[in-house]
Amino acid sequence: MGRQLKFNIFRYNPEDPKSVPHMESFDLEETEAMTLYIALNRLREEQDPSLQFDFMCRAGICGSCAMMINGRPDLACHTKTKNLPDEINLMPLPVFKLIGDLSVDSGTWFRAMNEKVQSWVHTDKPFDPNAEEEPMDNQLAEEIYELERCVECGCCVAACGKANMREDFMGAAAFNRIARFMMDPRDERTGTEYFEVVGNEEGIFGCLGLLGCEDVCPKEIPLQDQLGMLRRKMGWQSIRHLFSRLLPD
């Protein structure tokens, strides 16, 4: 017989005027190799079909199952209950708009973020569909791919003190996106153009630097390195701005 687990789950339906935010407790017997994905699906199937939470891939790829698990943001599908105590508290991620219970709308936030940081290769070269692909240095391609592994789960944003305090703060996922395009030789943006996007208090100069973001990233993206690089480059750009009449771009 497995452990008896007690789940304390946040319940609230913002669409229902009668709904009041509260915690609701459920008991469930632990099974072998149980993940929070399995546990939540069993609770919904066996105890309460109205329980709201998000899952798609069940493999740590889609990023949709992030939630606060005993106070820490993480992916529910790759969290094994055997690594948790008998009592498990589940809350929705802060910062994002609540849809209901454990489900949040991270998609709208990430879409706005990607638009804000202009998350695409900027080039004036005309597109020629018949041209041969331009090879990229293998090591550089791998370094870019390392940052591309972000699954937009929102854990780093939820753990970020500044993002919790300030709605317009870009957050580590945005800094990671910008760092990825700065590395890409096909992106022709100048340092000044990047500075206009991220060289401000909403951006890298508002970052507190305590690295809660890196601590919780389930994909172990090296956020500290990207934040440090951005801070150095944008600090240098701000000096260039001060002396912009003397120095060329």
| Residue 70 token pair | 């005993």
Site for ligand SF4 contains 155 (CB under 6 A): yes
Site for ligand SF4 contains 217 (CB under 6 A): yes
Residue 30: CB minimum distance to ligand SF4, A: 27
Residue 199 or 212: which CB sits closer to ligand SF4? 212
Site for ligand FES contains 41 (CB under 6 A): no
For ligand SF4, the binding residue among 210, 239, 242, 247 (CB under 6 A) is 210
Site for ligand SF4 contains 92 (CB under 6 A): no
Residue 58 binds which entry of ligand FES, ligand SF4, none, with Cβ cut-offs from 5 to 8 Å by kind?
ligand FES
Residue 106 or 226: which CB sits closer to ligand FES? 106
Residue 74: CB minimum distance to ligand FES, A: 10
Site string for ligand SF4, 125-154 (x = CB under 6 A): -------------------------xxxxx
Residue 91 or 213: which CB sits closer to ligand SF4? 213
Residue 74: CB minimum distance to ligand SF4, A: 9
Residue 92 or 203: which CB sits closer to ligand FES? 92
DSSP code string of the chain: ---EEEEEEEE--TT-TT---EEEEEEEE--TT-BHHHHHHHHHHHT-TT-----S-SSSSS-TTEEEETTEEEEGGG-BGGGS-SEEEEE--SSSEEEETTEEEHHHHHHHHHHHTT-S----SPP-TTSPPPP--HHHHHHHHHHHT-----HHHHT-HHHHH-TT---HHHHHHHHHHHH-TT----HHHHHHHHSSTTTGGG-----HHHHH-TT---HHHHHHHHHHHHHHHHHHHHTTTTS--
CB atoms within 10 A of CB 134: 8
Site string for ligand SF4, 169-198 (x = CB under 6 A): --xxx--x----------------------
Site for ligand FES contains 61 (CB under 6 A): yes
Q: How far is Cα of residue 226 from the mean position of the Cα atoms in its chain?
A: 15
